[in-house]
């Protein structure tokens, strides 16, 4: 397969999900706007994309998503007030989001699933390969991951997805992959910072007994534009939604369409901020690393960890 990739500079950030796992917090604001330490979750994702050289970003939004657009826009009045006060630090914090990337927005319309959200980006992305970063996933060191995924794509011409090992009993919450086998061994693609394997199959949220592996799909992808043609033909699958996983399954099974699919096995930390427990963990990890509050928080945690009470016993 000829490598025919051009430099990847565009990315799609799907952020139109309903966020039902985080109700009632997400009743009036999107889950991507929930703060993680001192900025909304979505800002980490946009910082990550920009850090990986993806500077043309299309955010696919839905109901209640105006705050997302406002966050990456100028607020002249607030900036003026801070400038008059000479508060440079806060002024820089207010300006940072709007300076990260060239932001574009599109309403998904009906939230018919992640595959549908990506398909809506077709006109903007055109015939280029592009990144996809789920707006509610925070990945520690994610810009390095994304940069490496782009390298794999540019070297092989394949679509690339990030996966991570999860406990077998958790696979029913994820898309799960199975590597292509050559002489009974996974077909590896060498030369990259993380292990990479070519894929034979992907399954959305399988029962553990039916899962082909415990390698779960994270919310990071580098996709060839051929995925749009496949998505056009993809019928609603699990949950009545158009599943991106189903389209990737077609690309994996038919490498002649779009160069196949490679999974990069990432070993870093990832938090799904649409999930309450992960959200709290993300706050703890990122707050612990924060230059202003990290040291104090770590000391507080060490002192109080044994006194943190669970729910009263029934
Ligand atoms: P989730 O599986 O987290 O679903 O979506 P959700 O609807 O956002 O949240 P819950 O399950 O109700 O709590 C995964 C990603 O796909 C996006 C979401 O915004 C999230 O980034 N998505 C999902 C869309 O953009 N559109 C959709 O129709 C569905």
Ligand 1, atom nearest to 14 Cα: 25
Cα–Cα distance list, 227 to 56, 199, 217, 223 (Å): 19, 15, 17, 7
Looking at the chain, the number of H-run helices and the number of E-run strands are 12, 15
Confidence (pLDDT) at 312: 74
Cα separation, 128 vs 277, whole angstroms: 37
Residue 78 has pLDDT above 50, yes or no: yes
Asked if the structure places residue 296 within a domain, the reply is: yes
- Tokens in use for 283? 């706050």
Residue 197 Cα to ligand 1 middle (Å): 27
Residue 5 has pLDDT above 70, yes or no: no
Confidence (pLDDT) at 37: 97
Cα separation, 27 vs 151, whole angstroms: 39
Asked if the structure places residue 2 within a domain, the reply is: no
pLDDT digits (tens, 9 = 90+) for 199-243: 999 998 999 999 999 999 999 999 999 999 999 999 988 788 999
Residue 249 Cα to ligand 1 middle (Å): 19
Confidence (pLDDT) at 3: 46
What residues pair up with 162 in beta bridges, in sequence order?
Answer: 264
DSSP 62: -
Q: Percent of the chain, pLDDT > 90?
A: 86
Pocket test for ligand 1, best of 30, 114, 173, 245 (most atoms within 8 A of CB): 114
Q: What are phi and psi of 303, to 5 degrees?
A: -70, -35
Asked if the structure places residue 276 within a domain, the reply is: yes
252 and 260 Cβ atoms separated by less than 8 Å:
yes
Confidence (pLDDT) at 2: 47
Confidence (pLDDT) at 309: 75
Question: Which segments within 1-43 are labelled E, that is strand?
Answer: 10-15, 35-36, 39-40
Report the CATH number at residue 244: 3.90.550.10
Residue 114 Cα to ligand 1 middle (Å): 6
Cis ω on the peptide bond leading into residue 24 (within 30° of 0)?
A: yes
Confidence (pLDDT) at 1: 46
Does ligand 1 have an atom closer than 6 angstroms to the CB of 204? no
Average pLDDT over residues 92-109: 94
pLDDT digits (tens, 9 = 90+) for 154-210: 999 999 999 999 999 999 989 999 999 999 999 999 999 999 999 999 998 999 999
Cα–Cα distance list, 307 to 293, 296, 300, 302 (Å): 21, 17, 11, 10
The tokens 């009036």 sit on which residue? Answer: 28
Asked if the structure places residue 1 within a domain, the reply is: no
List of long-range contacts for 205-208, beta carbons under 8 Å, 24+ apart = 205/171, 205/172, 205/173, 205/174, 205/175, 205/176, 205/238, 206/171, 206/172, 206/176, 207/171, 207/172, 208/168, 208/169, 208/171, 208/172
Q: Whose CA is nearest to atom 4 of ligand 1?
A: 17
DSSP 240: G
Confidence (pLDDT) at 314: 65
Does ligand 1 have an atom closer than 6 angstroms to the CB of 25? no
Q: Whose CA is nearest to atom 17 of ligand 1?
A: 17
Cα separation, 116 vs 119, whole angstroms: 5
pLDDT digits (tens, 9 = 90+) for 121-149: 999 999 999 999 999 999 998 899 999 99
54 and 9 Cβ atoms separated by less than 8 Å:
yes
Does ligand 1 have an atom closer than 6 angstroms to the CB of 146? no
The tokens 């909304």 sit on which residue? Answer: 40
pLDDT digits (tens, 9 = 90+) for 18-72: 889 999 999 999 999 999 999 999 999 999 999 999 999 999 998 778 999 999 9
Asked if the structure places residue 4 within a domain, the reply is: no
Asked if the structure places residue 49 within a domain, the reply is: yes
Residue 33 Cα to ligand 1 middle (Å): 14
Count of domains observed in the chain: 1
Confidence (pLDDT) at 6: 66
Confidence (pLDDT) at 107: 95
Q: Of 129, 135, 134, nearest to 162 (Cα)?
A: 134
Residue 282 has pLDDT above 70, yes or no: yes
The mean pLDDT value of the chain amounts to 93
CB count, 10 Å around CB of 242? 20
Residue 115 has pLDDT above 50, yes or no: yes
Asked if the structure places residue 5 within a domain, the reply is: no
Average pLDDT over residues 99-125: 95
Asked if the structure places residue 310 within a domain, the reply is: no
Q: Note down the domain range covering 216.
A: 10-303
């Amino acid at each position: 397969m000829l490598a025919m990739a051009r430099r990847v500079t565009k990315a799609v950030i799907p952020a139109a999900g309903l966020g039902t796992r985080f109700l009632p917090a997400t009743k009036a604001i999107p889950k991507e706007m929930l703060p993680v330490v001192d900025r909304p979750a979505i800002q980490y994702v946009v910082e990550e994309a920009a850090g990986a050289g993806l500077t043309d970003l299309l955010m696919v939004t839905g109901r209640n998503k105006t705050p997302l657009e406002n966050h990456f826009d100028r607020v002249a009045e607030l900036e003026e007030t801070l400038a008059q006060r000479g508060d440079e630090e806060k002024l820089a914090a207010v300006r940072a989001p709007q300076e990260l990337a060239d932001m574009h927005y599109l309403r998904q319309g009906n939230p018919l699933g992640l595959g549908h959200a990506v398909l809506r980006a077709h006109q903007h992305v055109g015939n280029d390969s592009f990144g996809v970063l789920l707006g509610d996933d925070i990945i520690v060191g994610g810009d390095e991951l994304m940069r490496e995924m782009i390298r794999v794509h540019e070297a092989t011409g394949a679509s690339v997805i990030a996966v991570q090992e999860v406990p077998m009993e958790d696979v029913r919450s994820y898309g799960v992959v199975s590597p292509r086998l050559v002489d009974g061994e996974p077909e590896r693609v060498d030369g990259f910072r993380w292990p990479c394997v070519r894929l034979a199959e992907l399954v959305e949220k399988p029962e553990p007994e039916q899962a082909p592996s415990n390698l779960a799909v994270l919310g990071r992808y580098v996709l060839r534009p051929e995925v749009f043609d496949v998505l056009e033909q993809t019928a609603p699958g699990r949950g009545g939604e158009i599943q991106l996983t189903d389209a990737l399954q077609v690309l994996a099974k038919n490498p002649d369409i779009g160069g196949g699919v490679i999974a990069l096995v990432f070993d870093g930390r990832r938090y799904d901020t649409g999930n309450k427990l992960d959200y709290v963990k993300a706050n703890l990890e990122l707050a612990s690393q924060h230059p202003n509050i990290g040291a104090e928080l770590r000391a507080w945690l060490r002192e109080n960890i044994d006194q943190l009470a669970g729910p009263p016993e029934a």
